[in-house]
Amino acid sequence: MFRIAFHAPEIPPNTGSAIRLAANTGAELHLVEPLGFALDERHVRRAGLDYHELAELRVHRTIDDLWAAVAPARVYAFTTGADRDYSDVAYEPGDVLLFGSESTGLPTDVAHAPQVSARIRLPMVPGSRSLNLANAAAVAVYEAWRQHAFAGAATAARPPARRG
């Protein structure tokens, strides 16, 4: 339904957690090289548990390869420098939620690329630098999915109503 994209992720457990997030939400996960690890690293597999087979994962050599793969989708670049909150966006299926690396965030040229529909942020208290990459992606994808009534989610069995 939605697409999560990490530009040059560096920390294996974050990507492993994102693989698990993608599998559990039906999102695609796109990784733009360079990666700070090999996808078969123990830490990636451990964080992703057995969800690797359930997630749709694509690796792109360059940001231009990502743009070509997701066009004409809307791309929301998450950056602490944005002045629009993630919750102010009306997300549509196929939208791309783009995040930068753990240490530097999105490069300016990527955040301001013509393919980016808007730059948005997750609110934080003053003095905070950033959220964990996997956590930020989870907040964003669940907000986008919530706006669509969690379409495609498993429905929980409801207990019978209590009587009297």
- Quickly state the pLDDT bin for 150 (edges 50, 70, 90): very high
**Token digits for 139?**
């907040």
Q: Which of 33, 28, 30, 29 is nearest to 8 (CA)?
A: 33
pLDDT band at 161 (very low <50, low <70, confident <90, very high): low
How far apart CA 86 and CA 52 sit, in angstroms, is 27
Residue 133 main-chain phi, psi, to 5 deg:
-55, -50
Please, are residues 29 and 55 in contact by the beta-carbon 8 Å criterion?
Answer: yes
Confidence (pLDDT) at 46: 59
Strands of the 75-78 sheet, one edge to the other: 56-60, 28-32, 3-7, 96-99, 75-78, 118-120
Residue 147 confidence class, pLDDT cut points 50, 70, 90: very high
Mean pLDDT check: name the lowest of 47-61, 81-95, 109-123.
47-61
- Count CB neighbours of 148 within 10 A: 14
Other beta carbons within 10 Å of 41: 16
Q: What share of the chain is helix, strand, coil (3-state, %, to 5)?
A: 30, 20, 50
pLDDT at 162: 59
Query: Is pLDDT at 47 greater than 60 in this prediction?
Result: no
pTM of the model: 0.90
Asked if 130 and 144 touch (Cβ cutoff 8 Å), the reply is no
What is the rounded CA–CA span in Å between residue 51 and residue 121? 28
Task: Name the pLDDT band for 82 (thresholds 50, 70, 90).
Answer: very high
What angle, rounded to 10 degrees, do the helices at 133-146 and 12-25 form?
A: 10
**Would you state the pLDDT for residue 63?**
98
Check residue 155 and give its pLDDT.
80
